[in-house]
């Protein structure tokens, strides 16, 4: 990639920095408040600092249970979304069939419609079918709105991949499966990774659909939400928040390195 010769205007630079600060300083505020000695209100500046809230949080099994549930749901939902999203993208890319437009719309619908619609729709289906709330009712909801992120990434990459590569592979005698394994897959690998990342993030964060499909189970967002209404022990929520941010930072950094190495 060639560097642009002209330099950015000062105003644009300032706006960019301003935007980044706006996006990040609230997260720093949480960090600060995880150390405050004030446990019932949000006084700024904090009256004193303490490390006490970390052991308090880590000793709570309800926190670990919620984290485990969220990670499990996000992992399974991401795998389902990867499979379904790639299949849909492949079909839409490859052929011009009747109803193609309808399918590309259907895929985006769960994310384009407000989450509450998806949530209450699944809830009414769960009610009508007398299904019990479980790990899988959460997964079904999450996978449904995660498909679109994988689909979007993969179809965008496929559109940029030269069709002639696939044709050349077939002409040289490779079977459909070999072409997929050695030509298509390496091409879409980073798109799959990016789509999977987004799907995982969406699922890990989700609270609106989850409220309707979880029953009594607590995912991490629901756990944090239930903590918000408790006026005591507020810094525990902050510590949990730091923990969440720290654990999600690692996969993003890895994914970032991975996409960079592949020359994206």
Partner 1 sequence: MASIPMVRGASAPNVLRRVSTFFYRHPNLSLALTLSLPLLWLGVIYLGSLVALLTQSFFYLDGFTGLVKREFTLRTYQELFTQANIDIMVRTVVMAAAVTVSCALLAFPLAYYMARYASYRVKGLLYLGVMLPLWSSYLVRVYSWKLILAQEGLFNWVIQQLGLTWLLNWLLGLPVIGGSSLSFSFLGLYIVFVYIWLPYMILPVNAALERVPKSVIEASSDLGARPGYTFRRIILPLAFPGVVAGSIFTFSLTLGDFIIPGIFGNSAYFIGQAVYSQQGSAGNIPLAAAFTVIPIVIMTIYLTTAKRLGAFEAL
Dist. CA 259–CA 50, nearest whole Å: 39
**112 counts as binding partner 1 under rule CB under 8 A:** yes
**208 counts as binding partner 1 under rule CB under 8 A:** yes
**214 counts as binding partner 1 under rule CB under 8 A:** no
Site for partner 1 in 119-138 (CB under 8 A): 120-125, 128
Q: Exactly one of 60, 72, 104, 133 binds partner 1 (CB under 8 A); which one?
A: 104
Dist. CA 200–CA 29, nearest whole Å: 25
The pair of three-digit structure tokens given for residue 36, joined into one six-digit string: 């405050």
Contacts of 152 (CB under 8 A, 6+ apart): 108, 195
Residue 43 DSSP SS3: coil
Residue 49 DSSP SS3: strand
The pair of three-digit structure tokens given for residue 37, joined into one six-digit string: 């000695």
**Total Cβ atoms within 10 A of residue 190:** 19
Tell me which residue has tokens 């998806």.
118
Tell me which residue of 9, 203, 218 sits closest to 110, measured CA to CA. Answer: 203
**250 counts as binding partner 1 under rule CB under 8 A:** no
Q: Exactly one of 207, 215, 233, 258 binds partner 1 (CB under 8 A); which one?
A: 207
Closest contact distance (angstroms) between CB of 51 and partner 1 is 19
**91 counts as binding partner 1 under rule CB under 8 A:** yes
**254 counts as binding partner 1 under rule CB under 8 A:** no
Q: 36 pairs with which residues across the strands?
A: 49
Q: Exactly one of 71, 75, 79, 109 binds partner 1 (CB under 8 A); which one?
A: 109
Q: Is 149 exposed, middle or buried (0-12, 13-18, 19+ CB in 10 A)?
A: buried
Q: Exactly one of 64, 163, 178, 254 binds partner 1 (CB under 8 A); which one?
A: 178
Choice between 58 and 121, CB closer to partner 1 = 121
Closest contact distance (angstroms) between CB of 117 and partner 1 is 5
Closest contact distance (angstroms) between CB of 61 and partner 1 is 20
Cβ(82)–Cβ(196) below 8 Å: yes
Site for partner 1 in 9-28 (CB under 8 A): 12-13, 15-16, 19-20, 22-24, 26-27
Site for partner 1 in 27-66 (CB under 8 A): 27, 29-30, 33, 41-45
Q: Exactly one of 74, 139, 224, 239 binds partner 1 (CB under 8 A); which one?
A: 224
């Amino acid at each position: 990639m060639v560097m642009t010769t002209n330099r950015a205007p000062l105003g644009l630079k300032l706006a960019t920095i301003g935007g980044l600060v706006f996006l990040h300083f609230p997260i720093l505020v949480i960090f600060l408040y995880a150390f405050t000695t004030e446990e019932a209100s949000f006084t700024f500046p904090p009256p004193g600092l303490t490390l006490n809230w970390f052991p308090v949080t880590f000793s709570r099994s309800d926190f670990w249970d919620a984290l485990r549930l969220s990670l499990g749901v996000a992992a399974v939902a991401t795998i389902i979304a990867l499979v379904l999203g790639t299949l849909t993208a492949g079909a839409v890319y490859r052929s011009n069939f009747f109803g193609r437009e309808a399918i590309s719309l259907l895929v985006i619908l769960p994310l384009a419609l407000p989450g509450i619609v998806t949530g209450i729709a699944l809830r009414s289906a769960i009610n009508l079918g007398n299904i019990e709330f479980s790990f899988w009712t959460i997964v079904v909801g999450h996978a449904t709105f995660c498909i679109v992120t994988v689909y979007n990434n993969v179809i965008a990459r496929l559109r940029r991949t030269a069709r002639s590569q696939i044709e050349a592979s077939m002409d040289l005698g490779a079977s459909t499966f070999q072409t997929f394994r050695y030509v298509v897959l390496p091409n879409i690998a980073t798109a799959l990774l990016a789509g999977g990342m987004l799907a995982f993030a969406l699922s890990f964060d989700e609270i609106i659909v989850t409220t309707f499909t979880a029953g009594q189970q607590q995912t991490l967002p629901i756990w944090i939400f239930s903590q918000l209404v408790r006026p005591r022990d507020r810094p525990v929520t902050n510590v949990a928040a730091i923990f969440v941010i720290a654990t999600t930072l690692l996969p993003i950094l890895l994914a970032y390195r991975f996409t960079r190495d592949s020359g994206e």
